[in-house]
Amino acid sequence: MHRSDINCLQQTQQVRPKMDYKHPVFQILLDQRKLRTPTGIHFHVPNQALAVAVAHEWDSQVDTIKRYAMPLTTLCNRALDTPADKHDILVSTIMQYADTDTICFRCQEPDDLVKVQSLSWDPIINWVNKHYQIKPVITNSMTSLAKLSPLDKEKLTRYFNSYNIWGLTGKLSMMSIISRISF
């Protein structure tokens, strides 16, 4: 976002999404001025629902911009400011979570916690196994990683490679959030 976007927010009377008919995208206008990302490119999103939600975030800003109150804008900025040639880097970053997923690390005691972990996390492990045909490795040791097999890593990599920058940005953001709150 440019400093000019911040300055014009104080004078803004209208925030609205607008279809760009030259390209199949929606832009956000602040009093007829196109919103920009932090790197300066024109802000645009691929569908109307997202455009309306982002416009609502901006419309909810009153005197000052509260970035923490605009999570969709933040995610869109990340996706837009990530060059398409960084796709493989995003997939590689996501794959780093594969061997360190919190649900693969289990306590050995106390018994109540072992039971809660099993009841909470086994259904997720089973779903992943069924949905992706991979077998996450469960461990009780914090000193050795529960590594996926090379074949399972290849399956996951193919799956994540099927996403565009928008999808990868969302998945990476969620993985980062989940890994922080799980400890």
Per-residue pLDDT of 29-84, as tens digits, reads 888 889 999 999 999 999 889 999 999 999 998 888 898 999 999 999 999 999 98
Here the CATH number for the domain that contains residue 109 is: 1.10.3580.10
Q: What is the pTM of this model?
A: 0.75
Alpha helices in the chain (DSSP H): 3-9, 48-59, 71-81, 87-95, 111-132, 150-161, 165-181
Residues with Cβ within 8 Å of residue 182, at least 6 apart in sequence: 102
Helix, strand, coil tally for the chain in percent (to 5): 55, 10, 35
Residue 155 to residues 7, 23, 106, 161: CA-CA distances in angstroms? Answer: 47, 34, 24, 10
Q: Looking at the structure, do residues 70 and 111 belong to the same domain, yes or no? A: no
DSSP 8-state code for residue 62? -
Range of 51's domain? 13-81
Domain boundary among 51, 81, 111: 81
Beta pairing class for 33-34 and 44-45: unpaired
Token duo for residue 73: 């804008």
Domain boundary among 81, 105, 127: 81
